[in-house]
Amino acid sequence: MGRLSVDFPLIFERSVPGRWGVRPPGCDVPRRPLAELLGAENLRAEPPQLPEVSELETVRHYTRLSQRNYGIDIGFYPLGSCTMKYNPRINEKVASLPGFTHAHPLQPESLSQGALQLMYELQEDLKAITGFDAVSLQNVAGAHGELLCLMLIKAYHESRGEGDKRKVVLVPDSAHGTNPASAALCGYTVRSVPTDSQGNTDLAALEAALSDEVAAMMLTNPSTLGLFDQNAPRACEMLHNAGALVFLDGANMNALVGVVRPADIGFDCMHLNLHKTFSTPHGGGGPGAGAVAVARHLEPFLPVPRVVYREGRYALDYDYPQSIGRVHAFYGNFLNLVRAYAYIRAYGGKELRHIAEFAVLNANYLLTRIRHAFPPAVDRLCMHECVVTAQHYKQHYGVRAFDIAKRLLDYGFHSPTMYFPLIVPECLMIEPTETESKQTVDMFANALLEIAREAMEQPELLKNAPHSTPVRRLDEAGAAKNLVLRWQGKVFYPSEVPACAC
């Protein structure tokens, strides 16, 4: 895997009393007591318990830690529904321009024309890509975009005098977990709508669920089964006839970009994950930037300020009396907006469809390679990701999807998404994205097929995997419930450390 597979001491365990990492320069101003400068009540009774290590040891320690990280620059990252595509370096080059990096959200509009122009043109690009009438960049991530769209829908119904009546949001049984969470956070009651045998929205069940209490439906298309919902246009029509609106979860837009405009299907609004479809980084503290796109009847309610172009200048406009107000203090991680803009402009309008075409091609090629060992949840052509089941191995050999995912680590691959969607038993959701080569997809397919053979011949090998990683199987549930975020004077790692790791 190209990274250290041995353990090494915590930085606190390397600490030696009196060892210096850096010697600060001598004081060149008159000395004054800290208590006088900061206030005695703000001083510690004792100095903080920090490790005392040299600069070299510090650099080595954190370099080793960084080598344990896994990212798209290290290898294939097939997390389904996450679109872990390559982040082109041209994005970073553009985002590092001083005019962008030195911009401040409180500087006047006269000194922000370049930044405002970029934001305005990004809005226009996203309008063209989605087919919607207006775009806001104020939400700072995907789930925040879901919440924002529901807030817009609520404002729409309230403007029509139906806010007190429409209190229900319909959510498919295959939905992302953030969908019902966003609806509940917005004050709605959530009701589930099942999926039919072909992986589409069950129209009969939808018909039964409709009433004048329904405010909206949150639909993902392509669905989390990795399939284009063929019933989506009819579902939108049914909801509109019932006076409800339809939100599109845009997490899987990578399968549609440049090929299908969601507004043409009948959706009223959607959110976009710039860190998925438009290649901005997933990490670094979180995406911090997103977008929502809406039809004309929702436009009056968009958050303010809105980025506009008037009389030859770009400006932030607050004059929208029906607006729901702000949903964020500023416009989030502006440099990720720059990266998304650079990505779209690098492709150009006509070439954007290649993103979706190659994403769908890679997913279907992978499914064709592995389907005899890992059958698809629904036997159809998939879109940008394939959803398969490992139920056979659990039933006959006691090997779970979890075991298969852990074994993939020994082959040098990050595991795919497991156990989602919840309606597929022993589920593996695999998304190769358009940026991976056929050779990489073949290597991953070969690894899965070899693991399938191992599951039948050596099931214990998988049940105890991984075997070559720095740590083995951890108590993940316990770790999530009992976080240890600071040094407590306890050694959690083996006391004997291999010499090569020191």
Q: Please provide the average confidence, as pLDDT, over all residues in the chain.
A: 92
272 three-class SS = strand
Mean pLDDT score, 214-239? 97
Q: What is the pTM of this model?
A: 0.89
Q: pLDDT tier at 69 (50, 70, 90 boundaries)?
A: confident
Task: Please state which of the ranges 273-287, 293-307, 317-331, 343-357 shows the lowest mean pLDDT.
Answer: 273-287
**Residue 1 pLDDT:** 39
Q: Work out the number of other CB atoms within 10 angstroms of the CB of residue 349.
A: 12
Q: Which residue has the higher pLDDT, 7 or 352?
A: 352
**Is residue 501 predicted with pLDDT exceeding 80?**
no
Q: Which residue has the higher pLDDT, 154 or 141?
A: 154
CA–CA gap between residue 146 and residue 166 (Å, rounded) = 18
CA–CA gap between residue 289 and residue 262 (Å, rounded) = 21
**Residue 497 pLDDT:** 39
**Residue 427 pLDDT:** 97
**Residue 284 pLDDT:** 60
**Residue 400 pLDDT:** 98
Task: Please state which of the ranges 45-49, 326-330, 349-353, 373-377 shows the lowest mean pLDDT.
Answer: 45-49
Q: Write the CB contacts of 359 (distance below 8 Å, at least 6 apart in sequence).
A: 254, 255, 383, 384, 432, 433, 434
Q: Which fold has domain 103-348?
A: Aspartate Aminotransferase; domain 2 (3.40.640)
Q: Work out the number of other CB atoms within 10 angstroms of the CB of residue 472.
A: 12
Q: Are 103-348 and 353-471 equal in CATH topology?
A: no
| 8 A C-beta contact, residue 219 and residue 232 | yes
CA–CA gap between residue 271 and residue 247 (Å, rounded) = 8
Give residue 353's Cα distance to chain centre: 21
Q: Work out the burial of residue 423: count CB atoms within 10 Å of its CB; fewer than 13 is exposed, 13-18 middle, 19 or more buried.
A: middle
CA angle 410, 70, 369 (to 5 degrees): 55
Report cis status (omega within 30 of 0) of the bond before 105: no
**Residue 295 pLDDT:** 98
CATH architecture, domain 353-471: Alpha-Beta Complex (3.90)
Task: Please state which of the ranges 7-11, 294-298, 404-408 shows the lowest mean pLDDT.
Answer: 7-11
Mean pLDDT score, 164-187? 95
Q: pLDDT tier at 6 (50, 70, 90 boundaries)?
A: low
CA–CA gap between residue 428 and residue 387 (Å, rounded) = 6
Express each pLDDT in 125-140 by its tens digit.
999 999 999 999 999 9
**Is residue 4 predicted with pLDDT exceeding 50?**
no
Residue ranges of alpha helices (H) inside 348-386 are: 353-370
**Residue 3 pLDDT:** 47
Tokens representing 3 are: 């990274």
Mean pLDDT score, 444-457? 98
**Residue 404 pLDDT:** 98
Q: Work out the number of other CB atoms within 10 angstroms of the CB of residue 318.
A: 12
**Is residue 375 predicted with pLDDT exceeding 60?**
yes
Q: pLDDT tier at 435 (50, 70, 90 boundaries)?
A: very high
- Would residue 411 be called left, alpha or beta, if left means φ above 0 and alpha means ψ between -120 and 50 degrees? alpha
**Residue 286 pLDDT:** 59
**Residue 285 pLDDT:** 53
**Residue 499 pLDDT:** 39
Q: Work out the burial of residue 122: count CB atoms within 10 Å of its CB; fewer than 13 is exposed, 13-18 middle, 19 or more buried.
A: buried
Tokens representing 435 are: 């940026």
Task: Please state which of the ranges 242-251, 288-297, 399-408, 492-501 shows the lowest mean pLDDT.
Answer: 492-501
Q: pLDDT tier at 478 (50, 70, 90 boundaries)?
A: confident
Tokens representing 314 are: 């770009």
* DSSP state letter for 83: -
The string of DSSP letters for 100-165 reads HHT--TTS-GGG-HHHHHHHHHHHHHHHHHH--SEEE----SHHHHHHHHHHHHHHHHHHTT-TTT
**Is residue 118 predicted with pLDDT exceeding 60?**
yes
Which candidate, 213, 214, 173, places its Cα nearest to that of 192?
A: 173
**Residue 495 pLDDT:** 41
Tokens representing 381 are: 């052509």
Q: φ, ψ for residue 42 (rounded to 5)?
A: -100, 5
Q: pLDDT tier at 50 (50, 70, 90 boundaries)?
A: confident
Tokens representing 386 are: 């394939």
**Is residue 498 predicted with pLDDT exceeding 60?**
no
CA–CA gap between residue 264 and residue 241 (Å, rounded) = 17
Q: Could you state, in order of their start, the residue ranges of all structural domains in the chain? A: 1-21+48-69+477-502, 103-348, 353-471
Express each pLDDT in 74-90 by its tens digit.
999 999 999 999 999 99
| 8 A C-beta contact, residue 174 and residue 263 | no
* DSSP state letter for 279: -
**Is residue 250 predicted with pLDDT exceeding 60?**
yes
Which candidate, 437, 451, 382, places its Cα nearest to that of 76?
A: 437
Q: φ, ψ for residue 418 (rounded to 5)?
A: -115, 150
Q: Which residue has the higher pLDDT, 109 or 10?
A: 109
Q: Which long-range contacts (CB under 8 A, 24 or more apart) does 196-202 make?
A: 196/231, 197/378, 198/227, 198/230, 198/378, 198/380, 199/223, 199/225, 199/227, 199/229, 199/377, 199/378, 199/380, 200/227, 200/229, 200/230, 200/231, 200/232, 201/172, 201/229, 201/231, 201/232, 201/235
Pairing of strands 306-310, 313-317: antiparallel
